[in-house]
Amino acid sequence: QMWEEAIALGKELAEQYENEMFDYEQLSELLRKQAQFYENIVKVIRPKPDYFAVGYYGQGFPTFIRNKVFIYRGKEYERREDFEARLLTQFPNAEKMKTTSPPGDEIKNSSSQYIQCFTVKPKLDLPSKFHRPVSEQIVSFYRVNEVQRFEYSRPVRKGEKNPDNEFANMWIERTIYVTAYKLPGILRWFEVKSVFMVEISPLENAIETMQLTNDKINNMVQQHLNDPNLPINPLSMLLNGIVDPAVMGGFANYEKAFFTEKYMQEHPEDHDKIEKLKDLIAWQIPFLAEGIRIHGEKVTEALRPFHERMEACFRQLKDKVEKQYGVRAVLSSLDDRRGSRPRSMVRSFTMPSSSRPLSVASVSSISSDSTPSRPGSDGFVLEPLLPKKMHSRSQDKLDKDDLDKDKKEKKKEKRNSKHQEIFDKEIKSTDISLQQSEAVILSETISPLRPQRPKSQVINIISSERRFSVSPSPPSSQVTPPPITPRTKLSFSIQSNLELNGMSSSDIPDVPPPLPLKGSMADYGNLMESQDLISPTTSPPAHQRVSP
């Protein structure tokens, strides 16, 4: 069931199948196995074996184990008594030692065989790839595997014995063993290479105990959230042992031992540690609340009275703790239930609500330049930000469309203004006789609700006004050449075609000149217009006319 190791080996094989052998059949089969291994890691509960420290003392043992200590990995669900019995069958003449303290030189130099065996706790050493909080189901493998440090704690009393409270003077003597290699390895036991000892004060021991208790509650709650089919009995025993003061006494012993004025005066350096212990006590309430909620959903009718008593005890405990140590809130979101973020990571506030920092939502409602903060003790749940992002994107798109529309309107106005300038120039160049009169100003108002007038209508109106406003030209003797103006596209002047041909009325002969040679349709048009304009008194006789 060490699926993590199987996955690592499978990745090496997959590299060979994919890039060296090109055996895609074996590769697909291997990847299916890896997928099953990953699923097993998350869903299957694996037993945690115990580790035992075994010392062989005396000159009667072989040299490779004489006066040495080894760490053994036990079998699944193997108790210490069963392991000792299995060990003594290999050395039937050995004597089992009754104490766990290191033996003296007398026992080490004796010719007999002495075996010392006790349970040690592996020290968690997470790999570097776990740089963020992960599910307990994933971490649980590394609590008993790939471990190299082990510890054994032995209580030691210092000072006068206090019959009312045994926690006040109970110190912990902790021995730490470091093996030559990580367990498990090619063997189920390795030699201890280094040993050192540390002492834990009563207050530090209380902090560790509270932290372990909170972690235990949280881990069991996570297991029940991930698998609703788990039995309820372990959860019932755990919750009842903490909530009911008649069972274990709860943390009231810590309050009597460390939260007194006498202890604060004698140990002023422990102020920060006392505050940490109070914080852990306050954090236990939301963990217990979640556990009792799950217990109430899964409890049977036979255990309903037991659950109701546990709820009554919890209400009293909750009122007391929140009054003395403040309120803590846990986000019960789906991500927390899946274990992506441990509940202990949620920040808490013990100050009154009036002086509490604002949450993310309240800050953002006052100022848009807010910095994210975690929820306070009131358990405020932040709304998801995804819909807000979508709204901002659509708003940006609308703003962009409005900007493009404004640009098009500006271009249109610029183009119309250019056309207006051209019209003004044409009017100034053609209306020579109207220069002394009142100027006519043309203006256009562009409205988005009314369509513009077509340009053809504007040109026709202007040309018709010119046609009716221009006066006939003076006699030819007084004609002056018109001023030269650029781009006279629409210039009109009413003159006779004879004057256009360079002849005056006095030079008209009796016989009309011969018709010009055929040029274009425009020439015939001009000819017909010139004949219509000739006076009937000067027209030649009919017999002298030459039909075209």
What is the DSSP pairing of strand 51-57 with strand 114-122?
A: antiparallel
Quick check: helix, strand or coil at residue 188? coil
Q: Looking at the predicted structure, is the pLDDT value of residue 89 above 80?
A: yes
Token pair for residue 410?
């500006």
Which of 76-85, 97-106, 262-271, 518-527 is the least confident region?
518-527
Q: Can you tell me the distance from the alpha carbon of 350 to that of 324, in angstroms, rounded to the nearest whole number? A: 10
| Number of residues written out for the chain | 548
Q: How many CA atoms lie within 13 A of 407 on its CB side?
A: 6
Q: What angle do CA 162, 166, 172 make, to 5 degrees?
A: 120
Give the containing element (helix H, strand E) for 179. Answer: strand 170-183
pLDDT tens-digit readout, 369-394: 444 444 443 443 434 444 444 444 44
**Which pLDDT score is estimated for 475?**
44
Q: Is residue 343 a contact partner of residue 330, using CB atoms and an 8 Å limit?
A: yes
**Which pLDDT score is estimated for 204?**
92
Region 293-297: mean pLDDT is 91
**Which pLDDT score is estimated for 505?**
47
Q: What is the DSSP string of 477-499?
A: GG--PPPP-S--TT------HHH
459 band by pLDDT with thresholds 50, 70 and 90? low
Distances (CA, A) of 476 to 327, 377, 505, 535: 113, 107, 9, 17
Token pair for residue 161?
């014995």
Q: Is residue 321 a contact partner of residue 252, using CB atoms and an 8 Å limit?
A: no
Averaging pLDDT over each range in 122-126, 188-192, 372-376, 454-458, which range is the top one?
188-192
Distances (CA, A) of 425 to 246, 428, 429, 444: 107, 5, 6, 16
Q: Can you tell me the distance from the alpha carbon of 66 to that of 57, in angstroms, rounded to the nearest whole number? A: 6
Q: What angle do CA 393, 397, 402 make, to 5 degrees?
A: 145
468 band by pLDDT with thresholds 50, 70 and 90? very low
**Which pLDDT score is estimated for 265?**
86
167 band by pLDDT with thresholds 50, 70 and 90? confident
**Which pLDDT score is estimated for 414?**
62
Q: Can you tell me the distance from the alpha carbon of 258 to that of 162, in angstroms, rounded to the nearest whole number? A: 13
Q: What is the pTM of this model?
A: 0.56
CATH class, domain 202-333, is mainly alpha
**Which pLDDT score is estimated for 245?**
66
Region 202-227: mean pLDDT is 89
444 band by pLDDT with thresholds 50, 70 and 90? low
Q: What is the DSSP letter of 537?
A: G
Region 79-90: mean pLDDT is 93
**Which pLDDT score is estimated for 339?**
43
Mean pLDDT for the chain overall: 73
Q: Is residue 228 a contact partner of residue 302, using CB atoms and an 8 Å limit?
A: no
Please say whether the dihedral angle defined by the alpha carbons of residues 361, 367, 373 and 379, taken in this order, is positive or negative.
Answer: negative
Give the containing element (helix H, strand E) for 429. Answer: helix 386-430
Averaging pLDDT over each range in 247-256, 338-347, 372-381, 413-422, which range is the top one?
247-256
- Residue 477 CA, distance from chain mean position: 95
**Which pLDDT score is estimated for 402?**
62
**Which pLDDT score is estimated for 458?**
52
Q: H-type helices in 267-374, by residue range? A: 271-298, 304-325, 334-338, 360-366
For 401-425, what is the HEC assignment?
HHHHHHHHHHHHHHHHHHHHHHHHH
Ordered by start, the domain boundaries in the chain are 3-43, 47-200, 202-333
Averaging pLDDT over each range in 192-196, 258-262, 542-546, which range is the top one?
192-196
User: By percentage, how much of the chain surpasses pLDDT 90?
Assistant: 31
Which of 44-58, 87-101, 249-263, 533-547 is the least confident region?
533-547
**Which pLDDT score is estimated for 51?**
96
Q: H-type helices in 21-177, by residue range? A: 24-43, 80-88, 105-108, 136-144
**Which pLDDT score is estimated for 161?**
72
**Which pLDDT score is estimated for 474?**
46
Closest-CA residue to 222 (of 133, 123, 340, 143): 340
* Better-predicted residue by pLDDT, 509 or 280: 280
188 band by pLDDT with thresholds 50, 70 and 90? very high
**Which pLDDT score is estimated for 18?**
95
Q: What angle do CA 259, 211, 159 make, to 5 degrees?
A: 45
361 band by pLDDT with thresholds 50, 70 and 90? very low
* Better-predicted residue by pLDDT, 493 or 511: 511
* Better-predicted residue by pLDDT, 516 or 326: 326
320-324 long-range Cβ contacts below 8 angstroms, 24+ apart: 321/281, 321/282, 321/284, 321/285, 322/282, 322/285, 324/278
Q: Is residue 167 a contact partner of residue 259, using CB atoms and an 8 Å limit?
A: no
* Better-predicted residue by pLDDT, 360 or 56: 56
pLDDT tens-digit readout, 100-150: 888 999 999 999 999 999 999 999 988 888 888 888 889 989 999 999 999
Q: Is residue 76 a contact partner of residue 50, using CB atoms and an 8 Å limit?
A: no
**Which pLDDT score is estimated for 483?**
53
**Which pLDDT score is estimated for 371?**
41
**Which pLDDT score is estimated for 131?**
81
Q: Looking at the predicted structure, is the pLDDT value of residue 432 above 50?
A: no
Convert 258-292 to b/e letters by CB count within 10 Å (16 or more is b).
Answer: bbeeebeeeeeebeebbebbbbbbbbbbbbbbbbb
Q: Can you tell me the distance from the alpha carbon of 259 to that of 257, in angstroms, rounded to the nearest whole number? A: 6
Give the containing element (helix H, strand E) for 154. Answer: strand 147-157
Q: Can you tell me the distance from the alpha carbon of 401 to that of 2, in angstroms, rounded to the nearest whole number? A: 59
Q: Can you tell me the distance from the alpha carbon of 464 to that of 443, in angstroms, rounded to the nearest whole number? A: 18
Q: Looking at the predicted structure, is the pLDDT value of residue 501 above 80?
A: no
Q: Can you tell me the distance from the alpha carbon of 65 to that of 55, in angstroms, rounded to the nearest whole number? A: 8
Q: What are phi and psi of 468, to 5 degrees?
A: -90, -15
Q: Can you tell me the distance from the alpha carbon of 68 to that of 194, in angstroms, rounded to the nearest whole number? A: 11
**Which pLDDT score is estimated for 341?**
42
* Better-predicted residue by pLDDT, 215 or 462: 215
* Better-predicted residue by pLDDT, 465 or 155: 155
